[in-house]
Amino acid sequence: MIIQNYALDEWVIGKTVGQDLIDASTGEIFANTSSDGLDFGEMMKYARNTGSPALRKLTFYERGNMLKALAFHLQSKKEKFYEISYKTGATRIDSWIDIEGGIGNLFSYASLRRKFSDKPFHVEGEALTLSKNGTFSGHHLLVPKEGLALHINAFNFPVWGMLEKIAVNLLAGVPAIVKPATVTSFLTFVVFKEIIDSKILPAGSLQLICGSANGILEHLTFQDVVTFTGSAETGKKLKSHPKIIEESIPFNLEADSLNCMVLGEDAHPKTEEFSIFINEVKREIIVKAGQKCTAVRRIIVPEKFVEDVSKSLSTALSKVKIGDPRTEGVKMGPLASTTQRNEVFKNLEILLKESEIIFDKQNCDFDDNIDIDKGSFVSPVILLNKNPFKNKKTHEIEVFGPVSTIIPYKNLNEAIELSKMGKGSLCSSITTANDAIAKDFVLATASHHGRIVIFNKNCIKESTGHGSPLPNLVHGGPGRAGGGEEMGGIRGVMHYMQRTAIQGSPTTLTEITEIFQPGSEYKTPEIHLFRKHFEELVVGESITTHKRTITESDIVNFANVSWDHFYAHTDATSLEGTMFTQRVAHGYFVLSAAAGLFVDPAKGPVLLNYGLDECRFTKPVYPGSTIYVKLTVKEKVNQQKKNDEDIAKGIVKYYVEVFDETNEHVAIATILTMVKKINQNEI
């Protein structure tokens, strides 16, 4: 089987015989791949000149729908991926994390499109008034970078590693070149081929290099972004490449780290939390045979519970059957390659100079049908470091496999210090039923960990676990973990966009951003705004209402209807020492009265009131005050039909300014209305 590359929208076989790819369980050579002959410079030009323009012209909604369609397509092919995944040494559960976890990322980022407007660009935050009279304003605009994303991925998650990254750059409007680790690239190749065969993505959106990519960094430009997942040592070498430095190219490093799991002092062996801890540690050791960047390397436990943890964990691991993941009953497979196995043994020898073995292969349940010498099998190994403040190799050497070290502590301050000795990790966790302990640990260690999970009986049933990063939360960590971050919802998308501060008159910024900026010139519509369909409304169109004088009866009646009898509205004798000179109208009454002024009551395109944002009551309204309203189209947000029977519609954000008789603001708000479209056939 020849594993091909994908360049310039064509499948390419390397010109020479390349690297043999091996079944991790049997040692059988079943494939070969080479990148010899690929022109990396031309691949990058193609991404920039073909893929980038095609993606950049799409709106966030269109890009999100593209991801959604791709996710459904890959989901329909997942069983094919599982069969190939076994050759990487992954069990069904391991593969589920890799395959369906990766597809889940596509779904998650497809849904994230709703956090953006239906535009190719994104406007961030609120407008800023930069001058005394309001004629000069500023805002932040984000546009897709005009380069490409180069993803250099690790061997341990050949599907998830690719999909979790491309989901983000594609939603941002940036094409990618994917470079999976060659040793497991055969699985990436199978999934990638389905992506291309689906014809969902525009030309130039994705390219694939399965063989060596030596020299590829030389062709980067300042508009590109590089992401790397793998060892800290390799990551540092790539990050310090002259091209990265000269061009100031964003480089996101997500490195393997010495993650820790902490058992709280309150979680004694008879508690539910103790059992939770043992189960979570066991899972982190055996899933992917410990080949996870988030797997537990340091097990930090109270000194008084070391023996209990050692026995319980050893018992749990002794019941895990190790073998070919295609064999029924096998719960842990081999490492991905013999190279990786040798690396594990080499680093284990270093740790053994300062720690002792609690559990190893002599206590394991190996399947009788496997040939350990041919496969890449390694048993779980549990070590004990009795003097962790002196013997520091535990905090410096990572064994990227099923090897973890138990570390004792005397009190919470010691546990905190020990957790920090890893000098930065992707994740840590603490198992405790005591929220005060949890708070102290989190606040004292958050500076050293990219993610912290708190386990207890209240959340364990629905918890995603210590080692599972989630699309909407940041995945990354400080120090040894690389100092970068991936995913993180909107945060992740912005890594592939350029944030630019724009300054000018509010009217000009309104035209650029397609969002009404306070102080901008108003546009006069020919009919009431509530008589217009979604497509007909124009940002900046505004109406000014007739006026209404507020009376004491209004205030009393609203108090009786709402049951809001706050003293400032109902008891004039209690106002001494307050900011009010007489009974004041309820803020929500003022807003309700404003709605009565600006609403056009007859049936029309407006379907319903959808919500309220950014409401402020800026000046007291007393009996005798006269108010009027200026209603302005602030922003239009497209909505997609859920099905053919659904009404085609969009959300219109209206900027509501309520003035009194002195023409001063008394209230400002943004209201959202759901407005029908003219074209009901629109998807």
Q: Name the residues annotated as catalytic.
A: 254, 293
Contact 206, 189 (CB under 8 A): no
Cross-strand partners of 254: 229
Q: What is the 3-state secondary structure (H, E, C) of 511-573?
A: HHHCCCCCCCCCECCCCCHHHCCHHHCCCCEEEECCCEECCHHHHHHHHHHHCCCCHHHHCHH
Rg (CA), the chain: 30
Sheet holding 497-504, edge to edge: 122-129, 137-144, 497-504
List for the chain the helix, strand, coil content (%; round to 5). 35, 25, 40
Nearest Cα to 59, choosing from 532, 640, 671, 565?
A: 640
- Return the residue matching tokens 């990487």: 88
Neighbours of 365 (CB within 10 A): 17
649-659 and 626-638 beta bridge pairing: antiparallel
- 404 near 382, Cβ under 8 Å? yes
* Chain-centroid distance, C-alpha 578: 47
Query: Measured over all CA atoms, what is the biggest interatomic distance in the chain, rounded to whole angstroms?
Result: 93
- What residue has token string 């069983």? 79
63 and 34 in contact (C-beta within 8 Å)?
no
Of 624, 626, 627, 623, residue with least CA distance to 556: 623
The rounded distance, in Å, linking the Cα atoms of 14 and 38 is 7
What residues have CB less than 8 Å from 317, skipping those under 6 apart?
282, 285, 286, 359, 363, 364, 380, 382
